[in-house]
Copies of this chain bind each other. A is one copy, B any other.
C-alpha cells in the first residue's frame, strides 16, 4: 500500500476556510496518540523506516512505513493493521523500544479520493497533510496545493517524528 503524501506548515484557521470553499467534506476530528519504536537490531533512521502504534479513541493500529520514494513528496510504502493494546507489551518483549510519543489533534476531510488532514501537533505547530493511495494522485495533490495557495517550496518531507527529534 503506497502512501503518496505531502505536508506543509499552515495556519489551520486560514486553511479551514479554503478547504471549505473547495467543497471538501469534513469526515472526523480525532485525538491521535502515536508511539514510535526503535528496531532491536536495525537502524530505522538510517534505513528511513518507521514503526508506529497509533491509539485513537481506545483503538490501536500498528503501522510500518518504508523508505521515502520520491524527492518531492514523503511518499512511502505503508502497511497498517488494527491491533489490541497488548501490542505494546508484545513489541517491548520482542526488543522494540519506544523512541517518542507524538500527540496530535487531526481533522480529516475528503476531496475526491484524496484525504486532507489538518493537524495540531503538540510541541510542533499546525500542519496540513494531503494523502493519496496511488502514484497518479501526486498530480492531483499538487493541483490541490495550488488551489490552496501553498507553493512547492513550503513542502516538508520530514516526518513529525524527525521534526520533533531535531527540535
- Residue numbers of A with Cβ under 8 A of B are 39-42, 49, 51, 62, 64, 66, 77, 79-87, 89-90, 93-95
Contact = CB atoms under 8 A, between A and B. Distances in A.
A86 B63 CA distance: 10
17 contacts: A39-B95, A40-B40, A40-B41, A41-B95, A49-B93, A51-B94, A62-B90, A64-B89, A66-B93, A77-B93, A79-B86, A79-B89, A79-B90, A81-B85, A81-B90, A83-B83, A83-B87
A93 B81 contact: no
A84 B87 contact: no
A96 to B, nearest CB: 9
Contacts of A80: 86
Number of copies: 2
Contacts of A41: 40-41, 95
A84 to B, nearest CB: 4
A94 B62 contact: no
Given A41-B41, A42-B95, 14 more contacts: A39-B94, A39-B95, A49-B93, A51-B94, A62-B87, A62-B90, A64-B90, A77-B93, A79-B89, A79-B93, A81-B83, A81-B84, A81-B85, A81-B87
A41 B84 CA distance: 25
